[in-house]
Amino acid sequence: MTTTTPQAVLAPARAKSAADSAPARRKQGLQHGGWFVAPFLVLFALFVIWPLLRGIYLSFTDANISGDGAGFIGLDNYREALHDQLMWDALGHSAYFTLLVVPCITVLAFLLAMLAHHIERAQWLWRLCFFIPFLLPSTVAGNLWQWLFNPGSGMVNHVFGLDTPWLTDKSYAMLAVVLTTLWWTVGFSFLLYLAALQGIPAHLYEAAKLDGANAWHRMVHITLPLLRNITGLVIALQILASLQVFDQAVVMQDFGPGPEGATRTFVQYTLEEGFTSYRVGYASAISIIFFVIIAAVALARMWLLRNREEGGR
Amino acid sequence: MTVDAAQTRIKSRTRTPWTPSQIVLTLIGVAVSAVFLAPLAWALFTSLKSETEAVEVPTHWLPEDWTGQAWKALFETGNITNWFVNSLVVSVCVTAVVLLVSALAGYGFARTEFRGKAFLMGVVMAGLMVSPAVLGVPLFTTVQQMGMVDTYWGMILPQCAPAAMVYILYKFFQSIPKELEEAAYIDGAGRWRVFFTIIVPLSRPSLSAVGIFTFIASWNNFLWPYMVTNNPDLMTMPNGIATVMNSYGIQWAQLMAGGLMAGLPLIIVFVFFQRQIVSGVAHTGLAGQ
């Protein structure tokens, strides 16, 4: 919600200046402005706001999947969730996945972008190769790596001469999901970094060269500081996406929770409670807890950004 | 983006010599590319083996007997063509609706005034944090109440309210100089005419970025179709391959062929429209800043 503050401050000011310069325009805007946003707002209200409110309501009930006979049970669902070891485990698995994926993807995407940016030939080829996996559906990426990690006829163990039980041992199962995710999604962050690198004006480097800065100095004093914003963006997008991991993990484990439940993610747990155990009320409660966690991360980022803008300039 | 394009064009015209550092970098590039492409090559080779050869131990890269068996079986026995059509219908509809409603809404928020605008914009921003992954169960029961489970509507409509796309276009429309519109108003054009004849043509790069991104996301969407339909006739590609093809005990050659079928359309499109897609993804991503 913090981002609304600057807009809330800006909007009236803009309205005023428009009214001063073109009163007719303002009148027209008042007439039609609402109609522009109406179609979106209808869809948004039906499929985002309403489910959110409904989720909050259901979380205080013992509703089942058929939706009838829901009784109000107050905070019982939340009380139960606090002592639900499976939920904490699932949250732990999603957090563990996030902790591994985010730094790896950020560093890898940066390195790949530096590589593609500095090879002067066939730029399209590098972009194509690093980005192609991102175009695959998550389930295809999951199936493909399930096949690659297959203990008997899988290529990973064969190529590296290993004998690792990637998918069947609880200490490797999540690692396999992490490696799959790196291969599958690094291309997106790579493109963001590449675009940012190409946006750095060449004259900065030329000036630094004239002043005798070597390649290392140019990277530390020009490239890295100018990539700070994009790094913040990549990290934030990756944290939000990684916490919501689901597809690859379930596909790689044949829709099960993995060895000793090691790859049961938070999203998977809410769906199990809702659609397998038919406990819609409880599933809603833990979904709301999850929503609060995601919102807290997003708000923390906005807060950090605002602080930096205030302090930086 | 045009500046980028111009730069790359200049770069490719002036051939740089093979300096030692360029040779090293290119070799690293080739090696890394091989790592990225190897899994796909493996999928392709597996799909050209017989099912028994695919699971042979020790495993080997190239098929000893090249056979199109798996591909043939895929088309003969499965509902893969059905899924393909479903994917196409869903993705095209989602993309069209998203483009229309988010362009209108982005413009409405950027350039018109109406009561409660700041509040509604705040609500849309808050909506950035809601996704089917976060609120899957309540969203499902909502769609269930509307009687849209196991229908195209149920698959399409919930994907059509992306706050992020509205926000991206909102920021873009704010950057268009107001003078362009004001001149048209003086000539007597109305709001809608200004929108369709001036704003939309000016925003083609942004709109195509949003369209491309939405199409990719929708084509590859697994979670929502997975929740909303169990009917094999209604499934989309990612969904059908992951659930139906996995349920009879996995036949790897056939599964890899199916996976390639699901991935190929976007890969082919990407090869042809690389520049637009790259700038589209970068554009939508960067707009989040």
- Cβ–Cβ below 8 Å for B43 and A144: yes
Average pLDDT over residues B18-46: 92
Q: Sort out which chain B residues have CB atoms less than 8 A from A271's CB and list them.
A: 136-137, 227
Q: Sort out which chain B residues have CB atoms less than 8 A from A255's CB and list them.
A: 243, 246
Q: pTM of the prediction?
A: 0.88
Domain extents for chain A?
16-78, 86-312
Q: Using a CB–CB cutoff of 8 Å, tell me whether B134 touches chain A.
A: yes
Q: Sort out which chain B residues have CB atoms less than 8 A from A183's CB and list them.
A: 36, 39
Q: Residue B15: pLDDT above 70?
A: no
Q: Residue B189: pLDDT above 60?
A: yes
pLDDT in tens, B153-174: 999 999 999 998 999 899 889 8
Q: What is the ipTM of this complex?
A: 0.88
The secondary structure of B273-286 as a DSSP string is SHHHHHHHHHHHHH
Q: Residue B41: pLDDT above 70?
A: yes
pLDDT band for A7, please (50, 70, 90 cuts): very low
Omega of the bond prior to B205 within 30 degrees of 0, cis? no
pLDDT band for B286, please (50, 70, 90 cuts): low
**Percentage of chain A exceeding pLDDT 70:** 87
pLDDT in tens, A42-74: 999 999 999 999 999 999 999 887 766 678 898
How many CB pairs lie under 8 A apart between chains A and B? 329
- What superfamily would CATH give domain A86-312? MetI-like (1.10.3720.10)
pLDDT in tens, B110-151: 988 888 889 999 999 888 888 888 899 999 999 999 999 999
- Both tokens of B144, joined, read 């269930």
Interface test with B, best of A14, A35, A44 (most B CBs within 10 A): A44
- Cβ–Cβ below 8 Å for B137 and A287: yes
- Cβ–Cβ below 8 Å for B166 and A40: yes
Range in A101-115, B212-226, B239-253 with the lowest mean pLDDT = B239-253
pLDDT band for A121, please (50, 70, 90 cuts): confident
Q: Sort out which chain A residues have CB atoms less than 8 A from B227's CB and list them.
A: 271, 275
C-alpha distance from B206 to closest chain A C-alpha (Å) = 15
pLDDT in tens, A133-149: 999 999 999 999 999 99
Interface test with A, best of B7, B44, B113 (most A CBs within 10 A): B113
List alpha helices for chain B, DSSP H: 2-13, 20-47, 51-54, 69-77, 80-111, 117-127, 136-145, 152-156, 163-174, 178-186, 191-194, 200-202, 204-220, 223-228, 237-247, 252-272, 274-286
- Cβ–Cβ below 8 Å for A39 and B100: yes
Give me the pLDDT at residue A11, please: 40
Rounded mean pLDDT of chain A? Answer: 86
The architecture of the domain spanning B79-286 is: Orthogonal Bundle (1.10)
Give me the pLDDT at residue B59, please: 82
Q: Sort out which chain A residues have CB atoms less than 8 A from B192's CB and list them.
A: 32
Cβ atoms within 10 A of the Cβ of B163, count? 21
Of A8, A18, A67, the CB nearest to B144: A67
Q: Residue A235: pLDDT above 90?
A: yes
Q: Sort out which chain B residues have CB atoms less than 8 A from A143's CB and list them.
A: 241-242, 246, 255-256, 259
pLDDT in tens, A126-136: 999 999 999 99
pLDDT in tens, A158-206: 888 888 899 999 999 999 999 999 999 999 999 999 988 988 888 988 8
Give me the pLDDT at residue A18, please: 43
Average pLDDT over residues A204-233: 89
Give me the pLDDT at residue B39, please: 94
Give me the pLDDT at residue B161, please: 92
Q: Which of A15-29, A203-217, B27-41 has the highest mean pLDDT?
A: B27-41
Of B131, B145, B182, the CB nearest to A22: B182
Residue B267 sits at the vertex; the CA angle it makes with A187 and B3, to the nearest 5 degrees, is 60
Total number of residues shown for chain B: 289
Burial letters A259-271, b for 16+ CB under 10 A, else e: bebbbbbbbbbbb
Q: Residue B197: pLDDT above 50?
A: yes
Give me the pLDDT at residue B285, please: 66
Question: Is residue B233 within 8 Å of B79, Cβ to Cβ?
Answer: yes
Question: Is residue B146 within 8 Å of B158, Cβ to Cβ?
Answer: no
Which residues on neighbouring strands pair with residue A61, listed in sequence order? A72
Q: Residue A240: pLDDT above 70?
A: yes
List alpha helices for chain A, DSSP H: 4-21, 23-44, 50-58, 76-82, 85-118, 123-131, 138-148, 155-160, 170-198, 202-210, 215-218, 224-226, 228-243, 247-252, 266-271, 280-312
